[in-house]
Amino acid sequence: MKPEQLIHHIDRDFCLSFLAKMVQHKSYSATDGERELAKYMAAQMAQLGLETELQNVPGDRLNAIGRLAGSGGGNSLLFNGHLDTNPVTEGWTVDPWEGKIDEQFIYGIGVSNMKAGDAAYFCALKTLIDAGVKLKGDVILTYVVGELQGGIGTLAAIEQGVRADYFINAEPTDLQALTMHAGSLMFTIELTGDTRHLSKREEAVDAISAAVELIPQINGMTFSGAKTAEHRKINRGHIGTVHGALGRDLEEWRPPQVADFVRLKGSARFAPGQTVEGVLADLQALLNTLCQRYPGLKAELYDDGIRDKPTMLPFEVSPESAIVKAVNRGWKTVRGTEQPTGVITPPAFFGTDAAHLYQHAGMEGIVCGPGGKYNTMPDERVEISEFLDMVRIYLLAILEICQPVEAA
């Protein structure tokens, strides 16, 4: 059967049912539910005939890895997606774990980030297996945990020898082909001033006033060393939390005094070619200038990637790469148009496990997955048509990269 024919043999009902079952697993990060979903995925891959293993991940967590061995002579292709999800927030109007399906959408916490992508590559490979297609190259399905803690599951998989010639990371890009995304650095800034009663405010060093001046500077900054304007496009600083009061314990019961301590937590996004060290140096330069403007102010900068979890580094692949072109051609076959490809925002501001596969395993790949538009919001959902098109595009990418065995 020709590839153009295979994409019309997608089992719509199975694909939607399989995704709904994934949603019905409450797989919050580092919970028993996450472990149960990993076991479920391993069982499903084994049932499909894949060589399957459950890998240990620090924190008593599990990755599910499956491999369909090829006959030889083709390139290998690895799919990567995480099983852990964000928590449910306020504002939902549907059951977050029902896996509700209507005429347009499938709903659920984590369906966009990123169970629709996870299900899409499982269903793509199942379609090929059910059709009797034999491949020359291996296909590896990885269902990892801990992406929300900096990618510890993918790092564990890499450390345990998981590799392929190419990869597709299925994070939500609304099916667009993302060839570059930012690195994600988490940081803490602590500002220490000198308190006085409000009657002597002029003698104080007001940590809150200093923070109010600093925050818009960080939120508006780009970082030094960007290689091109395209790389600079994914530079961004952001302060996400602000706590200011008296002392390091942030005592709030005495507002007549000038606050002498502020703790800011933020994130910086930076491009390939730029470094964590360079970003920290740029932030430190801002703090040095701030301390000059507020004599007596002390400012400390901490890299939370070192203190709390791994730093998500930047990712890049040439738009001329074989895997990019395979996904581009898959899109064109399925949708009849040219696939948006390149530094596409907002996805280019995401951190993904693609960075670990690129930076630590030296692999060439692409980020392309269903969902995104309705991600990280109440009633998180994915368009059914987009999900099914992703199954088709992944199927075609597998055929092009891994190459089918010609019938005798």
Structure tokens belonging to residue 33: 């539910």
Q: With pLDDT > 90 as the criterion, what percentage of the chain qualifies?
A: 93
Strand 341-342 vs strand 177-178: parallel, antiparallel, or unpaired? parallel
Cα distance between residue 391 and residue 370, in whole Å: 9
pLDDT of residue 407: 64
State the average pLDDT for the chain: 96
What pLDDT score does 359 carry? 94
Identify the pLDDT of residue 5.
82
Q: How confident is the model at residue 84 (pLDDT cuts 50, 70, 90)?
A: very high
Query: 383, 105 in Cβ contact below 8 A?
Result: yes
pLDDT class of 305 with cuts at 50, 70, 90 = confident
Distance CA 265, CA 89 (A): 21
3-state secondary structure the chain: CCHHHHHHHCCHHHHHHHHHHHHCCCCECCCHHHHHHHHHHHHHHHHCCCEEEEEEECCCEEEEEEEECCCCCCCCEEEEEECCECCCCCCCCCCCCCCCECCCEEECCCHHHHHHHHHHHHHHHHHHHHCCCCECCCEEEEEECCHHHCCHHHHHHHHCCCCCCEEEECCCCCCCEECEECEEEEEEEEEECECCEHHHHHHCECHHHHHHHHHHHHHCCCCCCCCCHHHHCCCEEEEEEEEEEECCCCECCCCCECCCEEEEEEEEEECCCCCHHHHHHHHHHHHHHHHHHCCCCEEEEEEHHHHCCCCECCEECCCCCHHHHHHHHHHHHHHCCCCCEECCCCHHHCCCCHHHHHHCCCCEEEECCCCCCCCCCCCCEEEHHHHHHHHHHHHHHHHHHHCECCCC
Please give the pLDDT value at position 311.
Answer: 80
What is the band of 408 on the pLDDT scale with cuts at 50, 70, 90? low
State the average pLDDT over residues 361-375.
Answer: 97
Q: Which residues pair with 205 in a beta bridge?
A: 194
Give the CA-trace dihedral at 104, 110, 114, 118, to 10 degrees.
-80
Interatomic CA distance for residues 23 and 29, integer angstroms: 14
Whether the predicted pLDDT of 269 surpasses 90: yes
Closest CA to 372 of 358, 387, 357: 387
Cβ-based neighbour number of residue 253 at 10 Å: 6
Which tens digit of pLDDT belongs to each residue from 148-160?
888 999 999 999 9
Distances (CA, A) of 257 to 194, 200, 254: 10, 9, 6
Contact criterion met (CB below 8 Å) for 386 and 371: yes
Distance between CA 147 and CA 38 in Å, rounded? Answer: 14
Q: Rounded CA gap, 67 and 165, in Å?
A: 14
Centre a 10 Å sphere on the Cβ of residue 256 and count the other Cβ atoms it contains.
8
Mean pLDDT of 369-389: 97
Q: In the prediction, which pLDDT does 13 show?
A: 97
User: What does the pLDDT read at residue 132?
Assistant: 94
Q: State mean pLDDT over 283-309.
A: 91
pLDDT value at residue 9:
87
Q: What domains can be seen in the chain, in order of their start residue?
A: 3-181+314-402 (3.40.630.10), 183-307 (3.30.70.360)
d(CA 41, CA 19): 11
Kindly state the percentage of the chain with pLDDT values over 70.
Answer: 98
Contacts of 199 (CB under 8 A, 6+ apart): none
* 133-164 residues labelled b (16+ CB within 10 A) or e (exposed): bebbbbbbbbbbbbbbbbbbbbbbbbeeebeb
Task: Dump pLDDT digits (tens) for 184-243.
Answer: 999 999 999 999 999 999 999 999 999 999 999 999 999 999 999 999 999 999 999 999
Pairing relation of β-strands 105-107 and 381-383? Answer: antiparallel
Q: Which amino acid is at 304?
A: D
Rounding to the nearest 10 degrees, give the CA dihedral for residues 272, 277, 281, 283: 70
| pLDDT, mean of residues 384-401 | 98
Please report the pLDDT score of residue 253 as a whole number.
96
Q: Which residue has the higher pLDDT, 107 or 408?
A: 107
Using CA atoms, how far apart are residues 93 and 180, in angstroms rounded to an integer?
35
